[in-house]
A and B are shown apart, each in its own frame.
Chain A
Amino acid sequence: MTAQHSEDSAPYGNPAHATLAAEVATAVEGVPGVAFLRPGLTDRLRSVVSRPGAAPAGVRMTPPDGDGPWRVEIHVVALRRARTVDVARGVRDTVERRLDALAPTRPAPRVTVTVTGLV
């Protein structure tokens, strides 16, 4: 839940997972009320050198352990003018729909959304 930033940016071992995470990131950025994915401003100002296979900012996906579900953690900065919980719900629903379209899994993925800032 409170994963450190370095973990958020950890490379995916499987390139297919990195692609999936990138697709999820793009979908989340299009959700009404989302300003940007965390890490947002801080990292933009600190280090912009990308590493191959790096996870998209603010998206962390953990493959199923056995028969369990995918675990997806999303960290976003939302716009103040939107009701925060509605933005978070929009993100969750969008991620669930996108994953279901791209890679349907038997147990539905477990999606956790954390709002880390409001602008």
Chain B
Amino acid sequence: MTDRTDPPNNASAQADDELLPCGRLLSRTWDDWERQTDDPHLRSCPHCRQAVHGLDDLESVVRGLREETDSSAAGYDTEPLTRRIMDVVRLELRPGRPLPLGEPAEDLWIMEAVAARALRAAAETVPGVRAGSCRLRDGGDGGGDDGTVEVRLDIHAPADAPLPELAARVRERVWEAADRELGMGVTAVDIRVTDLVPSSMPDDQEGGTA
């Protein structure tokens, strides 16, 4: 997975290289395009143009994200751009199952892994809290399919924090994120404190567990 994002001339990427119908390697086409090589073939060949079209689209999305990140003061949006892009790539490969968005009859869905990531991020806005496993189950009595979801979230809490209050704050953040950011009907948020961490520990480790 990761080797697909390496530079095209990286040795580990060779096995994944692709021969275009015009006889050129995909890696060379991408490389020439990125270096803006003055090559008539690149401009005239439909296969090469098609090959760089995807990169063009990707670049426009990345540019949009960069502008959004620069202009936003919200902490939620300031994590490194690369991580946000890689999150999407990972989630496309292991998305989980679809969970309902909006009202029960709307036929709108969000993939489990995507929703879980957003809810974990919300939990980690409470100072000192590290989110772990986040499981989402169909809500309603008996786990029926009524368009709602139950959240079970494991967290690591600061050792000196009063746990009931801390859990209540985390629950509230998760609830807010589900409602305001996602628009997902949540019937219950169960918080389980699985570990206590020394509060003196610097809280500068990687956020957003995968």
State whether A81 touches B68 (Cβ < 8 A).
yes
Q: Which residues of B contact A113 (CB under 8 A)?
A: 107-109
A117 to B110, CA, bound (A): 8
State whether B184 touches A85 (Cβ < 8 A).
yes
State whether B101 touches A119 (Cβ < 8 A).
no
- A69-119 with Cβ < 8 A to chain B: 77, 79-81, 83-86, 88-89, 92, 110-119
Residue from B53, B54, B64, B102 in contact with A88 in the complex, judged by beta carbons closer than 8 Å:
B102
Name the residue among A36, A40, A42, A48 with the largest chain B CB count within 10 angstroms. A48
The main secondary structure of chain B at its interface with chain A is: helix
Given A2-B97, A83-B182, A83-B183, CB of A40 within 8 Å of CB of B108: no
Q: Confirm or deny: B163 has a beta carbon within 8 angstroms of a beta carbon on chain A.
A: no
Q: Confirm or deny: A22 has a beta carbon within 8 angstroms of a beta carbon on chain B.
A: no
- B73-112 with Cβ < 8 A to chain A: 76-77, 84-85, 87-89, 91-93, 95, 97-98, 101-102, 106-111
- B96-135 with Cβ < 8 A to chain A: 97-98, 101-102, 106-111, 114, 117-118
- B172-210 with Cβ < 8 A to chain A: 180-184
State whether A36 touches B77 (Cβ < 8 A).
no
State whether A119 touches B53 (Cβ < 8 A).
no
Residue from B20, B87, B109 in contact with A112 in the complex, judged by beta carbons closer than 8 Å:
B109
- Produce 1/0 per residue, B13-26, CB < 8 A to A: 00010101100001
Given A40-B92, A45-B5, A48-B51, CB of A115 within 8 Å of CB of B101: yes
Q: Which residues of A contact B117 (CB under 8 A)?
A: 118
Q: Which residues of A contact B181 (CB under 8 A)?
A: 80, 83-84
Q: Confirm or deny: A1 has a beta carbon within 8 angstroms of a beta carbon on chain B.
A: yes
Q: Which residues of B contact A47 (CB under 8 A)?
A: 18
The main secondary structure of chain A at its interface with chain B is: mixed
Q: Confirm or deny: A38 has a beta carbon within 8 angstroms of a beta carbon on chain B.
A: yes
Q: Confirm or deny: B58 has a beta carbon within 8 angstroms of a beta carbon on chain A.
A: yes
Q: Confirm or deny: A14 has a beta carbon within 8 angstroms of a beta carbon on chain B.
A: no
Q: Write the nearest CB–CB distance from B118 to chain A, whole angstroms.
A: 6
State whether A118 touches B77 (Cβ < 8 A).
no
B47, closest chain A residue (CB)? A49
Given A110-B107, A119-B65, CB of A45 within 8 Å of CB of B4: yes
Residue from A35, A50, A84, A110 in contact with B110 in the complex, judged by beta carbons closer than 8 Å:
A84
**B contact residues vs A (CB 8 Å cutoff):** 4-5, 16, 18, 20-21, 26, 47, 50-55, 57-58, 61, 64-65, 68, 72, 76-77, 84-85, 87-89, 91-93, 95, 97-98, 101-102, 106-111, 114, 117-118, 180-184
In the assembled complex, 16 residue pairs joining A and B whose CB atoms fall closer than 8 Å, in A order, are A2-B98, A35-B64, A43-B54, A46-B4, A46-B16, A48-B52, A49-B18, A50-B50, A79-B68, A84-B181, A85-B108, A112-B109, A113-B107, A115-B101, A115-B109, A118-B88
